[in-house]
Amino acid sequence: MSIIPYARQNLSDEDIESVLDVLRSDYLTQGPKVPEFEQLLAEKVNAEHAVATNSATSALHIACLSLGLSSKDYLWTSANTFVASANCGLYCGAHIDFVDIDPETWNLSIPALELKLLQAEKENRLPKVLVAVDFAGQPVEQEMIKNLSNRFRFKVIEDASHALGASRNNRKVGSGCWADITVFSFHPVKIITTGEGGMAVTNNENYAQHMRLLRSHGITRDSELLFEQSQGPWYYEQQMLGFNYRMTDIQAALGINQLHRIDSFIANRIELANRYLELLDSAPLQLPFVQKENNSAWHLFVILFEKPSKHRMVFDYLRNSNIGVNLHYRPVYLQPYYQKMGFNHGYCPVAEDYANRAISLPIFPTLTFENQQFVIDKINQII
């Protein structure tokens, strides 16, 4: 039997056809597909502006820069996330710090955040940017973060790499009611894919314009944005130091077709999540808890064992049974690179306890009920 992965892309014949169409066309990059994908995604999440990039990591980087993050500043994020949510701050030379998580939602804890902000205020080192991560596809407690950001004057980037298609209080993640900029990922394990790719959305025109420049070397040809008079049709200006973080039209075409299919992807994920919740209900496990305000995109389905002592044994047993279970995440600050900056064990105890007990089970639209049942049976056998 082949391995059942924890996540997998879902590509249809039309998806593949849409890519081939671009390969046969005039533009492989900087053609019509990227703006079309941006507009479609902006409409889907109710955002005013969207800037496509070659990854969510790039989008996080230029989001930080457009919010003015520099080497004098602090960026805070959740301890329970992928390293990119913190690395984007390091790219800007900023100092990084981590907030502990809520023991039930596994998103950053609002009481922990508030306490840390009060302490930082006394020490005059409040963060400039908070990267709030919608872990597993469940939106963070946006309105509470908004209140704290008004009170302590920091900007918010919502890292919604897991949460395209999710909503809170019936408002789409990315609609910009509270975050300054929201970022999505299109890596193959995520909700929709472009191979590699990302998107930053915002309702702030200045941020959007700044991110468009940074995405492509700091260069513009837009006559309304030029510093000097145009000298002819060849004329462009580099106005700041940017990067090549552009998405190709090949990727954007795939993204457009994938985005047309997102509602069925999410419906499949919800169905699988509900089956896990029902069929693992009596097992001695902590199951995911979704707040009533939230509709999760169910990027991940994480279970927590009661005792850390069984974690490794169960993990190995499931891997040996051809189930591609995974761990999301070891706290970022425990990575050797971050430990070298001075972070130690015990810094965010809830996130560490979580990581000692968590296992991500397979969840993706093409997971069959039969394979899901196999996973459930194996878990029941071992515990």
Ligand X SMILES: *Cc1c(COP(=O)(O)O)cnc(C)c1O
Binding site for ligand X (CB under 6 A): 55-57, 81-82, 84-85, 133, 159, 161-162, 185, 187, 198
Nearer to ligand X, 18 or 161 (CB): 161
Nearer to ligand X, 85 or 258 (CB): 85
The one-letter code for the residue type at 35 is P
Q: How far is the CB of 129 from ligand X (least distance, A)?
A: 14
Among 92, 100, 153, CA closest to 124: 153
Nearer to ligand X, 97 or 159 (CB): 159
Q: How far is the CB of 265 from ligand X (least distance, A)?
A: 16
Nearer to ligand X, 108 or 133 (CB): 133
Dihedral sign from CA coordinates of 290, 39, 262, 193: negative
Q: How far is the CB of 281 from ligand X (least distance, A)?
A: 27
Q: For tokens 């169409």, what's the residue?
A: 21
Q: How far is the CB of 218 from ligand X (least distance, A)?
A: 21
Three-state SS string across 266-314, please? Answer: HHHHHHHHHHHHHHCCCCCEECCCCCCCEECCCCCEEEEECCHHHHHHH
Among 259, 119, 97, CA closest to 190: 259
The two three-digit tokens of residue 272, written as one number = 């699988």
Q: How far is the CB of 192 from ligand X (least distance, A)?
A: 12
Contact predicate 324/360, CB 8 Å: no
Q: For tokens 């394979």, what's the residue?
A: 371
Nearer to ligand X, 82 or 343 (CB): 82
What is residue 353's three-state secondary structure?
helix
The two three-digit tokens of residue 41, written as one number = 């995604």
Nearer to ligand X, 165 or 198 (CB): 198
Residues 122 and 320: their CA atoms lie apart, in Å, by: 51
Nearer to ligand X, 57 or 321 (CB): 57
Q: How far is the CB of 93 from ligand X (least distance, A)?
A: 20
Residue 228 is given by DSSP the state S
Nearer to ligand X, 57 or 202 (CB): 57
Bridge partner list, 201 = 50, 182
Q: How far is the CB of 230 from ligand X (least distance, A)?
A: 36
Instruction: Enumerate the H helices of the chain as residue ranges.
Output: 13-23, 33-45, 56-66, 84-91, 110-122, 142-152, 205-215, 249-260, 262-279, 311-320, 336-339, 349-355, 369-382
Please measure the distance between the N-terminal and C-terminal CA atoms of the chain and give it in whole angstroms: 23
Nearer to ligand X, 42 or 164 (CB): 164
Q: How far is the CB of 234 from ligand X (least distance, A)?
A: 34
At CA 164, angle to CA 159 and CA 169, rounded to 5? 90
Contact predicate 56/161, CB 8 Å: yes
Q: How far is the CB of 282 from ligand X (least distance, A)?
A: 31
Contact predicate 86/131, CB 8 Å: yes
Q: How far is the CB of 306 from ligand X (least distance, A)?
A: 27
